[in-house]
Amino acid sequence: MSADVAVVGGGAVGVCAALELARRGAKVVLLERGAELAWGCSAGNAGLICPSHYIPLANPSALRDGFRWMLKRDSPFYLRPRAAVLPWIARFALASRPERSQAAGKVVQELARASLDLHVAYAAEGVDTGLRRDGVLNVYFAHAGLARARHEAEHNAREGLESRLLGADEAYALAPSLGPRVVGAVVYPGDAHCDPLRFVHAVGRAAEGAGADIRTRVEVLAFHRRNSRVVALETTAGEIPVGEVVLAAGAWSGSLARGLGLFLPLEGGKGYHVDLEPAEGDPKLPVWLNETRVIVTPLADRLRLAGTLELAGLDLSVDRIRVGAIMRSARRGLPSLQGRRVLEVWRGLRPCTPDGLPYVGRPSGLENVVVATGHAMMGLTLAPVTGRLVGELLVGERPSQDLGPLSPDRFRPLLGRL
């Protein structure tokens, strides 16, 4: 096996990169260590594709709430105390300053809007991702949250995103199964959703149809370098000579990057979903229960409850307290979920950078490596535009988005050590 380009990682970003590169004529091999594509975090998120939710992970509210919640295991944000996470937390605090957060939010929203157009284009081409553009309903049970939502909607309107502010009666008309004491809602009719696992598999099939070679159960163990170039990958399937490498391995990208001499601060942000059997009266569009950060997404054969963020490193154990918190929050928001049969409890690790922006670009010191990781909770939303940017970089096209804020070189290790 050899390749013009080896894409390391078979999640949403990896398959989009493989598709874009194969369509540009590259000989692409995609390597996924799991038994199938989307073996990591890409299989299990809420499925939202929403430029309306542009605020990056690092923002003043997250910093304030994070310190308030970080030691409560049933809170929307939880930090498992570890010495290794402290440098990440320090960078996160600096990036949460209002001016930095606002600048990052503008970048995220520009990327998300471009990426939503590509999601729509994929569907128009016949890539069966199950895309539905029914909008997203943001529901509020407290007047303070609704006031912040109104301010956010005004910002989005200035950016050209349509929204409608709803009173409680209008919210119930749109989602009759909502629980009592709703004070209002905001609906973004242009937002979309899909089943993330279906998305990855559909784009993977399209990449294979364009000529990409997709290999599962192949784990990258090491990189062989000659000066400033990677010449081969050492894998569980043997050595693979390469011309270019795309690092898109999600939460595991940081440890792989160290083997290349790169410093990519990443934390695994563990999230959960609980899939329930569907029923008559379920919401027809995704419902974001804002105060508890739980999202209820209708999928073809299930109703998905997703949420929480736990900075857990690479630990994939299931915390039943956190799963229970999701269930309780969802049932308070939609009492009809009480007694519903559970189809699946899932967890995955989102790759979180300290400033909430992904790493996309060529790192200095390596001629033939492109990094594409660190998308946190926006991986599904931003996967198509990231794939396009990777394709543009590798064939020498001018990038369609400004890559400066996404540079893989924007952080430096403390004391000069990886």
Q: Determine the Cα–Cα distance for residues 46 and 376; give it in Å rounded to an integer.
A: 13
Name the pLDDT band for 100 (thresholds 50, 70, 90): very high
Name the pLDDT band for 26 (thresholds 50, 70, 90): very high
**Antiparallel, parallel or unpaired: β 302-311 and 267-276:** antiparallel
Q: How many CB atoms lie within 10 A of CB 143?
A: 10
Quote the pTM value. Answer: 0.94
What pLDDT does 267 receive? 93
What is the SS3 assignment for 391? helix
Name the pLDDT band for 60 (thresholds 50, 70, 90): confident
pLDDT in tens, 206-265: 999 999 999 999 999 999 999 999 999 999 999 999 999 999 999 999 999 999 999 999
What pLDDT does 62 receive? 75
- Half-sphere exposure at residue 192, Cβ-oriented, CA atoms within 13 angstroms: 22
What pLDDT does 1 receive? 57
What pLDDT does 309 receive? 87
- Backbone φ and ψ for 43, nearest 5 degrees, come out as -80, -20
pLDDT in tens, 106-132: 999 999 999 999 999 999 999 999 999
Q: Determine the Cα–Cα distance for residues 169 and 185; give it in Å rounded to an integer.
A: 10
The answer to whether the CB of 319 falls within 8 A of the CB of 73 is yes
Name the pLDDT band for 2 (thresholds 50, 70, 90): low
Asked if the 3-135+190-416 domain carries CATH number 3.50.50.60, the reply is yes
The yes-or-no verdict on residue 289 having pLDDT over 90 is yes
The yes-or-no verdict on residue 81 having pLDDT over 90 is no
Amino acid at site 236? T
Q: Give the residue carrying structure tokens 């329930």.
A: 276
**Antiparallel, parallel or unpaired: β 164-166 and 184-188:** antiparallel
The answer to whether the CB of 136 falls within 8 A of the CB of 285 is yes
DSSP 113-176: HHHHHHHHHHHHTT-----B---EEEEESSHHHHHHHHHHHHHHHHTT---EEE-HHHHHHH-T
pLDDT in tens, 152-187: 899 888 888 899 999 999 999 999 999 999 999 999
Domain ranges of the chain: 3-135+190-416
Amino acid at site 201? H
What pLDDT does 415 receive? 62
